[in-house]
Amino acid sequence: MSKRGLFFCLCAVFAVYSVYVWTAGTDTPNIQPPSEQAKAGLALFQEKNCIACHQLYGLGGHMGPDLTNVASAPDKGVDYLKTFIANGTDKMPNFKFSEAEIDALAQFLVFLDRTGTYPPAHPEISWFGAVAYSGANNGK
């Protein structure tokens, strides 16, 4: 096969693969869509650049804790989240959020929490180094 032929074949496979990842590969039918409040919280999370310091599923900054499951952590929860969002800490600025904004951010984190578990609860490691994340595709 010519170089050009190989290049375009790879591009065609990449296109099919991308469409798969965008659709069936990332489908999560068991998870409820976000509420309007959670959507507003996500928008606020981005506007304030929270990802500079916090992580979602281990992706993002390192200054603050990962937020994936704080909403359901045994000694934390929604009120705990709201306290930090409202007041900040010695490392986190006080953004002076309104009550509605605090609720929206908390609802976004509740929605996020329902999408899965991080770090994975029961990873099964195979002999060749692959990991099966049991139940990971079904939310919590």
Partner 1 sequence: MANDTGLRFMLLGLLALAASLFFGVLSAFKFLYPEFLEALPFHKLRPLHVSLAVSWIFLTAIGGVYYYLPNLLGLALFSIRAARWHFWIFLVTGLAILGAYLLGQFGGREYWEFPPVLALPIFLSWILFAVNYFNTVIQRRSAWPVYFWMWGTGIVFFLLTFAESYLWLFPYFRENMARELAVQWKSYGSLVGSWNMLVYGTAIFVMEKISGNEAMAHSKMAFGLFFLGLFNLMFGWAHHTYPVPFAEWVRNFAYFVSMTELFILGKIIWDWRGSLSDYQKHRFRRPYRFLFAADIWVFINLVLALIISVPAFNLFTHGTHVIVAHTMGTTIGINTMILLGSIYFVLEQRDTDSALQTVSGMADHGYWLANGSLLIFFLALLVAGLIKGTYSGGSFGDMMASIEPFLLIFAVAGIGLMMGLWMVLLPALRRIYSLVFSVTARNPMRVENGQKTNL
- Interface residues with partner 1 (CB under 8 A) are 3, 6-7, 10, 13-14, 17-18, 21-22, 24-28, 31, 33-34, 39, 42, 45-53, 55-66, 90-91, 93, 111-112, 115-116, 118-120, 123, 125, 129-133, 136-139
CA 31/CA 106 separation, integer angstroms: 18
**Shortest Å, Cβ 88 to partner 1:** 10
- Looking at the Cβ atoms of 46 and 100, the one nearer to partner 1 is 46
The label of the residue with tokens 């010519």 reads 2
- Looking at the Cβ atoms of 100 and 119, the one nearer to partner 1 is 119
Residues 6+ apart with CB under 8 A from 53: 60, 61, 62, 63, 64, 91, 92
**Shortest Å, Cβ 62 to partner 1:** 6
Q: Give yes or no for a contact between 80 and 42, defined as CB atoms under 8 angstroms apart.
A: no
- Looking at the Cβ atoms of 61 and 100, the one nearer to partner 1 is 61
- Looking at the Cβ atoms of 13 and 100, the one nearer to partner 1 is 13
Q: Residue 69 burial by CB count (10 A; 0-12/13-18/19+): exposed, middle or buried?
A: buried
Q: Where are the alpha helices (DSSP H) in the chain?
A: 3-22, 36-47, 78-87, 99-114
